[in-house]
Amino acid sequence: MVKQTAGRDILGNFAPKFAELNDDVLFGEVWSREDKLSLRDRSLVTVVALMSKGILDSSFQSHLINAKKNGITKDEMAEILTHAAFYAGWPNAWAAFRMAKEVYKDE
């Protein structure tokens, strides 16, 4: 099971129910269903979904880092972002590539 505490750490005092849902349901239950979809595949889907919505902030960067940890290589990420650019938008792809280049700079 993926153990996430970011919700409680950041919003626990302000929005405890949201923090609980973030940590226990989204990252606890949903991300832990590896018998249905691997962490690697979940990372791929999440990166593309965030890019397509234009959510290219620190949460996107965190998901890029997780994608790398979950086995998505630099070459695969470049191909994923290139493919998604035609569906998610060229400016979104540029922003995503800037972050991905930083995350994968050691490869």
- 107 and 61 share one domain: yes
Residue 70 is predicted with a pLDDT of 96
Residue 1 is predicted with a pLDDT of 54
Q: Tell whether the model's pLDDT for residue 42 goes beyond 90.
A: yes
- 53 and 103 share one domain: yes
Q: Tell whether the model's pLDDT for residue 19 goes beyond 90.
A: yes
Structural domain of 102: 36-107
DSSP per-residue codes, the chain: -----HHHHHHTTT-HHHHHIIIIIIIIIITT-TTTS-HHHHHHHHHHHHHHHT--SHHHHHHHHHHHHTT--HHHHHHHHHHHHHHH-HHHHHHHHHHHHHHTTT-
Q: What pTM does this model have?
A: 0.89
Per-residue pLDDT, averaged over 18-36, amounts to: 92
- 28 and 44 share one domain: no
- 57 and 11 share one domain: no
Instruction: Name the pLDDT band for 17 (thresholds 50, 70, 90).
Output: very high
Residue 79 is predicted with a pLDDT of 98
- 2 and 18 share one domain: yes
